[in-house]
Structure 1
Amino acid sequence: MQDREEARYQGSCHCRAVRFEIETNFPELTMCDCSICKRKNALMVKVHESKFRLLSGAENLTEYQFHTKTARHYFCKTCGIYPFHRKRVTPDNFGINVHCLENFDPSSMPYRQAIGAGMS
């Protein structure tokens, strides 16, 4: 995946109230086994905050935090979809739910199982 050219992708929640844009070459996709990620079953790509732009819907986002209250998980207030979160270990990065990206099919891309459940 490292040889992919960096490109711009737009994404949204299901009702499209929350819209965002990222730039990435998809260096790695991850699935996390922590208590919240396991339940939301999201496939994520990590992008630096400089490569993320919220286009609309800030007022439609609701935030959820737990445990250390470092990671910030965002959900659409209308449709309940999780489009992204600010990461715990690298808070200057977002974890983007790639299933929310337009015209992107991750089905042929490998992913790494991240071990979040074992974090203290």
Structure 2
Amino acid sequence: MNYQGSCHCGHIKFEVEGTLTGAMSCNCSFCQRKGSLMWFVPRKSLSLLTPESNASTYEFNKHVIKHQFCALCGIHPYGEATDPKGNRMAAINIRCLEGIDLESVPVTHYDGRSR
């Protein structure tokens, strides 16, 4: 399935291809504050519809995840990293996707605080 998404102001717009069967909620110091529900897909499944330069990047702790956000409205629509097997991945904030029922998406809780 193809999903459309964006930040609040539309400065960052994207499409993502895949089957949304669940999302992850992390309780690390950053994710808990921003409240994202993340869906992990191969990076090639994410297509930016606006210039890559429209996104600002925040990295912390081990600097392995590029948290992409809009410097205009502050929303974090996606992040980028590499999985343990070396595959490029995107973490899509499903709260930024259009036309989905958040209540119908199963959420797994990840204890990032203890990592």
TM-score over 0.5 (shorter chain): yes
* Greater than 6 Å deviation, 4+ residue runs: none
Number of corresponding residues: 113
1:114 equivalenced with 2:113 (yes/no): no
- Structure 1: which 5+ runs fail to align? 1-6
1:21 equivalenced with 2:15 (yes/no): yes
SS at match of 1:107: helix
SS at match of 1:56: coil
Give the CA deviation at 1:118.
1.8
Aligned to 1:53: 47
Q: Deviations over 1:72-116 (max 9, x none)?
A: 101101101000011364561111011111111221222100121
1:60–1:78: 8 Å Cα contact kept in structure 2? no
1:75 equivalenced with 2:83 (yes/no): no
**Amino acid corresponding to residue 93 of structure 1 in structure 2:** M
TM-score, normalising length from structure 2? 0.90
TM-score, normalising length from structure 1? 0.87
SS at match of 2:4: strand
Aligned to 2:92: 96
1:9 equivalenced with 2:23 (yes/no): no
Classify 1:101/1:31 alpha carbon distance in 2 versus 1 (closer, same or farther; 3 Å).
Answer: same
**Amino acid corresponding to residue 63 of structure 1 in structure 2:** T
Classify 1:26/1:105 alpha carbon distance in 2 versus 1 (closer, same or farther; 3 Å).
Answer: same
Give me the CA root mean square deviation: 1.4
Distance 2:105 2:32 in 1: 19
1:71–1:86: 8 Å Cα contact kept in structure 2? yes
